[in-house]
Amino acid sequence: MKPLKDAEHLVRIAAVFLAGVLLFLGARALFVPKSFGQYGHYRADAVTEIAALPVVHAGHDTCEMCHVDVAELKHKGKHAGVNCEACHGPQARHADDPSSIKPALPDTAVLCARCHEESAAKPKAFPQVVTAEHSGGLPCKTCHTPHNPSIDSSLKPGDEK
Amino acid sequence: MTVSRRHFISLTGAAVVAWDYVLAGAPESSPNYQATDHWWAMLIDITKCIGCGNCVRACAEENHVPEGFFRTWIERYHVDDFHLEDPRVDSPNGGKDGFPPIPTSAGKDFFVPKLCNQCADSPCVQVCPVGATFVTRDGVVLVDEKYCLGCRYCVQACPYGCRFIDPERKTAQKCTLCYHRITKGLTTACCEACPTAARQLADLKNPKDPIHEFLKTHSVQVLKPQMATGAKVFYNGLDGSVR
Amino acid sequence: MNLIPVQGFMYPNEVELQWSVLIVLYPFLTGLVAGAFILASLERVFRVDEVKPTYRLALLTALAFLLVAPLPLQLHLGHPERSLEMYLTPHRSSAMAMFGFVYLWYLMAVLVLEIWLDYRREIVLLSKSTLGLKRWFYRALTVGSDNISPRALAIDERVGWIITVIGIPSAFLLHGYVGFIFGSVKANPWWSTPLMPVVFLFSAMVSGIAAVMLLYMVVCRLRKTVIDMRCLDTVAKYLFYTFIIDFSLEMLDLVHRIYEADESFRSLDFMVHTRLWVSHVVIQILLGTVTPIAILAITQIVRFTDIARKRLYATAGALTLIGIFAMRWNVVIGGQIFSKSLLGYTTYNMALASREGLLTAIALTLLPLGILWMLVKLFPPWPERALRS
């Protein structure tokens, strides 16, 4: 027993270290979130939380539920692939409460040029004009109906619906 | 304007599905969504991008992206003839307000939209010390903003520069592939807003996904393939000068 | 963010730097720890008796700097209150997470334990002789055992030796890991190299040895005791040898980059020639490496007087510390001011008085010296002092 007596302090310090390890394990049991590790090294609840975030864009399927005739008109023309909110902005709140939340109409003088102003960086096949020369500053709505932009002599400005 | 009965019925069907899932302001769950049935990716067609900036704006609105930071952005390239190693690139405010028009000149000009590549072997996930960023079972790389320490190691590790630290929340943020939309049967905000279908969401596990055919029949690339990140954003028509 | 000047093209999200001067400071501090400990182990394990006068001082220096090292990290985190997560749910693939355990291991199982064992006799004596609050402090440290018989002390000596032997690779791991945290980032061509952990380690040893050498000279001055020149000469000699290795490694990295000239070379070369010219070429290489090596080389060849040698060593030591700090700066800041598109550069606007500013960095550099002063008072490194008190 004599050698042990001289090493007693080592046993004591080892006990202190062991206490530290046990404290750490206790902290782990207490503080690690419950869903952690369910699917991988992350908090599984985070996936559900992110998936449950509110949507801001309604998606064109929703728009077309009510705006059936606009959808009809659009699908016949060159803007068939242009979704509603591409020009009208996010409208989920409007879709949720159509009567009280009315979206502002986009200004064609500004809106159309964003896509159709001629630029060398745009694909050559994409329809683009130098608006100053093309319309002399008139808003595009003067001759083109935004939902179906091909110039049709039977359509008059204001005939969108 | 009349609508054919067949068209109306198909519209109603789609509408019923969409209506169930779209309600602004009220978070809801998608009980029918099975993560293991999906493996999300995206196709970006450089030959179609017109640099209008719709995607950048739509993303910023959909995800409340802080000003000055970008979950997606557009770069405009100018490549002088035969000088692939020396492109001139700009991205004014990430392309959020579009690009000022440029006159035709010698060389190539084109737009490259960029976003998180949703890497299958993500280096950002590898370096996160606590498991705050991770790849979901359906292939989307997400950030758990309640768990993130804000150490910024993931931002350093991303080869594509798609991550940033939210200045208010002090946690890492990046494109989530609109996870809150795609799990409800909607497409991402950027794809919804793109007028030319230059950006299209793809589900690599869904055999009926129309993008599969495109991927099988076109030469597509990922960004920085030498990094072997398992990037899942595929680019059609990507020039060799793109960084 | 709009106020940061950008040259060429940067990805929009990388204009603002992620890691500030505090992250420059962190590898500097841990480097001093590793270096000081290696110097201490020279005496203990390799029986280089000449450096014995610096043994305890080196250990206390290591402890002082190791205690402060997590502070720059905490101040830089977006959510320091969540930092415990690194211990609770460490991501095993993350070098940063694993480093948390390396740090803890080195602090508790190596450094604290070794200091405790080496000082145990004094601790027991002081627990009986001092009065007031300090008495309780020493009593706690005895963990209830006051056995300082020759046999017990011999056991301490033996166990301490084993701990030092384990401590040497642990010290290598401590700072090599920091190098690996940078060196394993494949996205960053300035950082990504297998040489990074080795370069970090050797520059750490250089800085640690230089720091202990300077501190030894300063402490002797303050205590008005004679500097043991045989000790000082030996420490300077080891500093010289380690520096040669460190310099060779850094030159190897440089030559390799220039020769291979891969896709990142043009961008990085331009960066070094312009934005990093002063910090890299002038301060790190010329002033901080070549000059101290030259000074130390001359002292090995030409015989100088004691006073001249002290002055030369002090100059070399100070320049070394500046040079190693500049090296950390060039790695951390340099790695962030060029674009990963390799087409542009941004600017680091170091804040002055904010949480991650210059003043904070200065305070965190001085804090370990304050802690060291306290430790020297509590655990006198030189026996005659302990007996006197």
Q: Where are the domains of chain B?
A: 37-118+181-236
- Residue B84 — pLDDT band, cuts 50, 70, 90? confident
Q: Provide the domain limits for residue C233.
A: 191-348
Write b or e for each residue in C16-45: b if 16 or more Cβ atoms lie within 10 A of its Cβ, otherwise e: bbbbbbbbbbbbbbbbbbbbbbbbbbbbbe
Closest Cα of chain C to B168: distance in Å?
Answer: 10
| CB pair distance less than 8 Å for B162 and C185 | no
User: Is the separation of the CB atoms in C91 and B130 below 8 Å?
Assistant: yes
Which pair of tokens denotes residue A153? 């002599």
Residue of C nearest to A42 (CA): C89
Number of domains in chain C: 2
Shortest CB distance from C77 goes to which of B149, B169, B243? B149
pLDDT at residue C46, rounded to an integer: 86
pLDDT at residue B18, rounded to an integer: 47
A32 interfaces chain C, CB cutoff of 8 Å: yes
Which pair of tokens denotes residue A56? 């801001």
pLDDT digits (tens, 9 = 90+) for A117-155: 999 999 999 999 998 899 887 888 888 999 998 876 555
Q: Which residue has the higher pLDDT, B210 or B21?
A: B210
**Cα–Cα nearest to A55, from B180, B209, B215:** B180
* Residue at C15 is within a domain: no
* Residue at A119 is within a domain: yes
Same domain, C205 and C251: yes
A-chain residues within 8 Å CB-CB of B29? 48, 51-52
The Cα A153–Cα C263 span in angstroms is 58
B106 interfaces chain A, CB cutoff of 8 Å: no
pLDDT digits (tens, 9 = 90+) for C87-99: 999 999 999 999 9
Number of domains in chain A: 2
B-chain residues within 8 Å CB-CB of C72? none
- Residue B83 — pLDDT band, cuts 50, 70, 90? confident
Same domain, C47 and C141: yes
pLDDT digits (tens, 9 = 90+) for C255-297: 999 999 999 999 999 999 999 999 999 999 999 999 999 999 9
pLDDT at residue A102, rounded to an integer: 86
Which residues have CB under 8 Å from C368's CB, separation 6+? Answer: C29, C61, C64, C65, C67, C68
Same domain, A74 and A135: yes
Same domain, C177 and C65: yes
Closest Cα of chain A to C156: distance in Å?
Answer: 8
The Cα C355–Cα C366 span in angstroms is 16
B54 interfaces chain A, CB cutoff of 8 Å: yes
Which residues have CB under 8 Å from C98's CB, separation 6+? Answer: C90, C92, C177
Same domain, A106 and A135: yes
Q: Provide the domain limits for residue A26.
A: 2-51
B-chain residues within 8 Å CB-CB of C336? 156
Q: In 10 A of CB B2, how many CB atoms? A: 9
Which residues have CB under 8 Å from C13's CB, separation 6+? Answer: B69, B70, B73, B155, B161, B162, B163, B164
The Cα A63–Cα A57 span in angstroms is 10
The Cα C252–Cα C258 span in angstroms is 10
Same domain, C197 and C131: no
- Residue B8 — pLDDT band, cuts 50, 70, 90? low
pLDDT digits (tens, 9 = 90+) for C74-132: 999 999 999 999 999 999 999 999 999 999 999 999 999 999 999 999 999 999 999 99
Q: What is the mean pLDDT of residues C333-348?
A: 96
Q: What is the mean pLDDT of residues C325-345?
A: 97
pLDDT at residue C331, rounded to an integer: 97
Same domain, C147 and C30: yes
- Which residues of chain A from 35 to 54 reach within 8 Å of chain C, CB to CB? 36-37, 41
pLDDT beyond 50 at B25: no
pLDDT beyond 80 at B91: yes
Strand ranges in B80-119 using DSSP code E only, listed in sequence order:
88-90, 108-115
- Residue B10 — pLDDT band, cuts 50, 70, 90? low
Name the amino acid, one letter, at C297: A
Q: What is the mean pLDDT of residues C4-20?
A: 95
Interface probe, candidates C22, C24, C79, chain B, greatest B C-beta count within 10 A:
C79
CA angle (B240 as vertex; B111, C273 as ends), nearest 5: 95
- Which residues of chain C from 53 to 92 reach within 8 Å of chain A, CB to CB? 84, 87-89, 91-92
Q: What is the mean pLDDT of residues B40-49?
A: 97
pLDDT at residue C387, rounded to an integer: 43
B-chain residues within 8 Å CB-CB of C14? 161
Q: Are strands B233-236 and B40-45 parallel, antiparallel or unpaired?
A: parallel
Q: Which DSSP letter does residue B75 get?
A: E
The Cα B199–Cα B235 span in angstroms is 9
Same domain, A80 and A15: no
B-chain residues within 8 Å CB-CB of A64? 11, 14-15
Mean pLDDT of chain A: 89
pLDDT at residue A153, rounded to an integer: 55
Closest Cα of chain A to C110: distance in Å?
Answer: 12
pLDDT beyond 70 at A38: yes
A-chain residues within 8 Å CB-CB of C88? 27-28, 31-32
Same domain, A32 and A65: no
Closest Cα of chain C to B114: distance in Å?
Answer: 10
User: Is the separation of the CB atoms in C72 and C26 below 8 Å?
Assistant: yes
User: Is the separation of the CB atoms in C192 and C181 below 8 Å?
Assistant: no
Mean pLDDT of chain B: 89
pLDDT beyond 60 at C314: yes
| CB pair distance less than 8 Å for B123 and C186 | yes
Helix (H, G, I), strand (E, B) or coil at B142: strand
pLDDT digits (tens, 9 = 90+) for A44-86: 999 999 999 999 999 999 999 999 999 999 999 999 999 999 9
Same domain, A102 and A138: yes
Same domain, A74 and A45: no
Q: How many residues does chain C have?
A: 389
* Residue at A109 is within a domain: yes
A26 interfaces chain C, CB cutoff of 8 Å: no
pLDDT beyond 60 at A161: no
- Residue B82 — pLDDT band, cuts 50, 70, 90? confident
Share of chain C above pLDDT 90, in %: 88
Q: What one-character-per-residue DSSP string does C168-220 give? A: HHHHHHHHHHHHHHHHT-TT-TTT--THHHHHHHHHHHHHHHHHHHHHHHHHH
**Cα–Cα nearest to A121, from B110, C103, C204:** B110
Which residues have CB under 8 Å from C362's CB, separation 6+? Answer: none
List subunits contacting chain B, requiring 3 or more Cβ pairs under 8 Å: A, C
pLDDT at residue A141, rounded to an integer: 87
- Residue B30 — pLDDT band, cuts 50, 70, 90? low
* Residue at A157 is within a domain: no
Interface probe, candidates C1, C74, C91, C184, chain B, greatest B C-beta count within 10 A:
C91
Residue of C nearest to A6 (CA): C152
pLDDT beyond 50 at B23: no
Shortest CB distance from A50 goes to which of B7, B180, B195? B180
| CB pair distance less than 8 Å for C86 and B130 | yes
pLDDT beyond 80 at C195: yes
CA angle (C357 as vertex; C352, C360 as ends), nearest 5: 110
ipTM given for this complex: 0.92
Which pair of tokens denotes residue C223? 């205590």
According to DSSP, the residues that pair with B76 across neighbouring strands are B90, B111
pLDDT at residue C42, rounded to an integer: 84
B–C CB contacts, 8 A cutoff, strictly below: 122
| CB pair distance less than 8 Å for C145 and A8 | yes
Closest Cα of chain C to B97: distance in Å?
Answer: 14
Q: What sign has the CA pseudo-torsion C100, C103, C107, C109?
A: positive
Helix (H) or strand (E) holding B124: helix B123-127
Q: Are strands B172-173 and B220-221 parallel, antiparallel or unpaired?
A: unpaired
Same domain, C311 and C275: yes
Out of A11, A26, A51, pick the residue that ends a domain: A51
Which pair of tokens denotes residue A8? 């007693």
Domain B37-118+181-236 class? alpha beta
Residue of B nearest to A45 (CA): B144
Among A89-103, B25-39, B174-188, C152-166, the minimum mean pLDDT is found in B25-39
Closest Cα of chain C to B152: distance in Å?
Answer: 6
A89 interfaces chain B, CB cutoff of 8 Å: yes
List subunits contacting chain A, requiring 3 or more Cβ pairs under 8 Å: B, C
A161 interfaces chain C, CB cutoff of 8 Å: no
The Cα B105–Cα C106 span in angstroms is 62
- Residue A110 — pLDDT band, cuts 50, 70, 90? confident
* Residue at C344 is within a domain: yes
pLDDT at residue B20, rounded to an integer: 44
Closest Cα of chain C to A128: distance in Å?
Answer: 27
Contacts 24+ apart (CB under 8 A), B88-94: B88/C9, B89/B243, B89/C9, B89/C341, B89/C343, B90/C9, B91/C9, B91/C11, B91/C12, B93/C12, B94/B56, B94/B70, B94/C12
pLDDT digits (tens, 9 = 90+) for B205-232: 999 999 999 999 999 999 999 999 999 9
**Cα–Cα nearest to C140, from C115, C162, C116:** C116
Mean pLDDT of chain C: 93
